Amino acid sequence: MTSNNPVSVADGDRERLLHGTHHDPHSVLGAHPVPGGIAVRAFRPYARTVTAVAGSDLRAELHDDGDGFFSALLPLSEVPVYRLLVEYDGTVQETEDAYRFLPTLGDLDLHLIGEGRHERLWEALGAHPVTHQGVPGTRFTVWAPNARGVRVAGDFNFWDGTGAPMRSLGSSGIWELFLPGIGEGELYKFEITRPDGSRTLRADPMARRTEVPPQTSSIVTASRHEWDDAEWMAHRGDTPVHEAPFSVYEVHLPSWRPGLTYRELAAQLPAYVSDLGFTHVELMPVAEHPFGGSWGYQVTGFYAPTARLGTPDDFKYLVDALHRAGIGVLMDWVPAHFPRDDWALAEFDGRPLYEHADPLRAAHPDWGTLEFDFGRREVRNFLVANAVYWCEEFHIDGLRVDAVASMLYLDYSREPGQWTPNEHGGRENLDAVAFLQEMNATVYRRSPGVVTIAEESTAWEGVTRATDGGGLGFGLKWNMGWMHDSLEYMSHEPVHRRYHHHEMTFSMVYAYSENYVLPISHDEVVHGKRSLVSKMPGDWWQQRANDRAYLAFMWAHPGKQLLFMGQEFAQGAEWSEAHGPDWWLLDPEYGAAADHRGVRDLVRDLNIVYRATPALWQRDTAPDGFQWIVGDAAEDNVFAFLRLDAEGTPLLAVSNLSPVVRDYRLGVPEEIPAWHETLNTDLARYGGSDVTNPDPVKPEPLGSHGRPASIRLTLPPLATVWLRPA
């Protein structure tokens, strides 16, 4: 239906608005000066009448031009501040006209977005409740450069975006619309008309809150949380992480105590972690993800904490509570890839946008997901700003970056012919390298005290070297080699360990090539790998003894420590996200509870002694902070070494990984007058046989292990002992 009204919407504009392909609806709709007055045009599908109202003396019913279009010529010389009375069947609504407002994004925002340098991108894009030109409402903005048109759909328009077309802000690829009267809690998505004319309904890539999965809508939100962690934030960067105590309890929040919300976790998790003495928690990914079985590693809502456990402010409350308890919060962050769900990022505006345009580069070969196009500046900006977002908005103290190796190599899990070399003929993904360098440099510049940690399993050089020296710029790197080798050694019966001795010593060959974390993570206790205690050989007593000896060896080894939940009390079963740790093992009514409590008591004591002993952490990255006493006693299954603090004060760590008691002579520094046992994993209260060295041990002038003085120790079976100067 075409109107004869001289100020009605022209046929071409009308068709594009009806089909969702208009790039500038504000140029047509709203109020505009025309010859003879002011033309007011409204697009209100399903309305019976529309009336423009200004002040107390202007009330003009618009002409019904058909298909939801209404227009009128007002005999005015200037555009008035007006509202619309819209009559539907059985109801009349008085509302502001969304098409009378100026754009809500300024030139600086658009310039920074265009340059890929908007470090607080979440403040420019997404949905934000604001007061604009004196009117409360919500500003919607989205990047969709290939779209022919974008509209906002939500509960507020019955999920029909026809009457809410957005305007394109030039070459930026940004679409914008201020909807008056829309506030917090409203559900929304973007209805995108693709280049081929088809339409797709998409969640907001920048949504800061989402529905609870499997629902997929974005939610308009604003934070009300008032932080109470100023003291923590002011001092968290006082000591560089690599020179500070750093022992990490890794947690999958939805299953740690199944059914608890963020706020309920805040009442339990800080107290538990504090009691065990860990310095940090590391949260498996909390960003929104559709499939719980991915444990959070396939993210669709990069800017939204998962709604399964509460609101974004609820998550802030948990972080705040951990900080007030003196516990740092690390978070797994997944910038390598994203799932293919057709309501999320995949071919977001009808063409590859967040993913690489080359299908071979886009498809992640292992996980059925899509890899980000790290060479596209807007995508790089999306991810760099996301790292900044978690640190600045949620006070996160560190980002453990998942799957770095899969980002760095073009041929990762790909056969010949499935990948194309870089411009130099190599297999390095130069775009990903540049992205990681930019991300690390930006985070460290903006958020003092924050640490970034790479999960990187290859021999890539310079992962923790500064970016200005050609490195990737991470603060720490997971030592996957140490983890694989040491667990392989421990899995053997003691009688066979002599043939695998090097698996426990080889890590010291490269221990100072990077700044390392020693990870016993969730990945090691799932998918048939068995829990930590179940990897150990022998009967139940021997398994626990091996477990305890290994943990103390790990805590004494150069590098930071990470232990996954459940392993602190020797859970025998593999972890399952469906039911979490087997807390019942600690119930006094359970017959073997003392065995599990003993291991947990050891972990607590490891952390207590560790934090009080600078030799165990102050020089983790300095070769002169470590000295072998004996590293070649393969026949004895014995390892002994010194850790030294900045003042040269030592700690002696000795592991006897054979099931026999040994009377053992060890060379020691002659200047220490006596040693006392400060930790012994064989104590009866840990579940051991209580073979100890109760009295101070004094050196004798007998040479051993290349040293002029030595001590004689009783080494308990399958145990580690620590000694300090008496």
The 3 state secondary structure assigned to 62-131 is CEEEECCEEEEEECCCCCCCCEEEEEECCEEEEEECHHHCCCCCCHHHHHHHHHCCCCCHHHHCEEEEEE
Task: Return the structure tokens found at 51.
Answer: 């009336």
User: Residue 238 class from Cβ within 10 Å (0-12 exposed, 13-18 middle, 19+ buried)?
Assistant: exposed
| CA distances from residue 59 to 80, 420, 498 in whole angstroms, order as listed | 12, 66, 95
Instruction: Categorize the per-residue pLDDT at 4 as very low, low, confident or very high, splitting at 50, 70 and 90.
Output: low
pLDDT at 699: 96
Max Cα distance, the chain (Å): 112
pLDDT for residue 56: 80
Look-up of token digits 């799957």: 403
Backbone angles phi, psi at 442, to 5 degrees: -70, -45
User: Cβ contacts of residue 136 below 8 Å, gap of 6+?
Assistant: 129, 130, 180, 181, 183
Strands 516-520 and 476-478: parallel
Check whether 3 has a pLDDT greater than 60: no
**Tell me, what's the pLDDT at 57?**
84
pLDDT category at 713 given cuts 50, 70, 90 is very high
**pLDDT for 616:** 98
Residue that the structure tokens 């025309």 belong to: 34
What is the SS3 assignment for 689? coil
441, with CB counted inside 10 A (0-12, 13-18, 19+), is: middle
Rounded distance between C-alpha atoms, residue 366 and residue 375, angstroms: 21
Q: How confident is the model at residue 90, as a pLDDT?
A: 87
Give 485-515 pLDDT, tens digit per residue. 999 999 999 999 999 999 999 999 999 999 9
Degrees, nearest 5: CA angle 57-59-60: 140
* 280 contacts 561 by C-beta, under 8 angstroms: no
Q: Which residue is catalytic, options 13, 97, 176, 455?
A: 455
pLDDT at 1 over 90: no
Q: From the candidates 97, 373, 402, 524, which is the catalytic residue?
A: 402
Question: Rounded to an integer, what distance in angstroms lies between the CA atom of residue 684 and that of residue 595?
Answer: 10
Strands 167-168 and 174-180: antiparallel
Task: Please report how the helices 540-556 and 593-611 are oriented relative to each other, as an axis angle in degrees rounded to 10.
Answer: 10
Nearest alpha carbon to residue 558 among 623, 639, 631: 623
| Strand segments (E) across 314-411 | 328-333, 337-338, 370-371, 398-401
Taking residues 436-450, what's their average pLDDT?
97
**133-137, 412-416, 607-611, 686-690: which range is least confident on average?**
412-416
Burial label for 125, CB within 10 Å (0-12, 13-18, 19+), is buried
pLDDT band at 365 (very low <50, low <70, confident <90, very high): confident
Whether 455 is catalytic is yes
Instruction: Check pLDDT > 70 for residue 473.
Output: yes
pLDDT tens-digit map of 150-161: 999 999 999 999
**Distance of alpha carbon 58 from alpha carbon 60, whole angstroms:** 6
pLDDT digits (tens, 9 = 90+) for 380-423: 999 999 999 999 999 999 999 999 999 999 999 999 989 999 99
What is this structure's pTM? 0.96
Closest CA to 180 of 122, 135, 115: 135
Mean pLDDT to the nearest integer, 684-709: 96
Return mean pLDDT, the chain.
96
* Residue 129 near residue 184 (C-beta atoms within 8 A): yes
Residue 195 makes CB contacts below 8 A (sequence gap 6+) with 146, 147, 148, 350, 351
pLDDT tens column, 580-593: 999 999 999 999 99
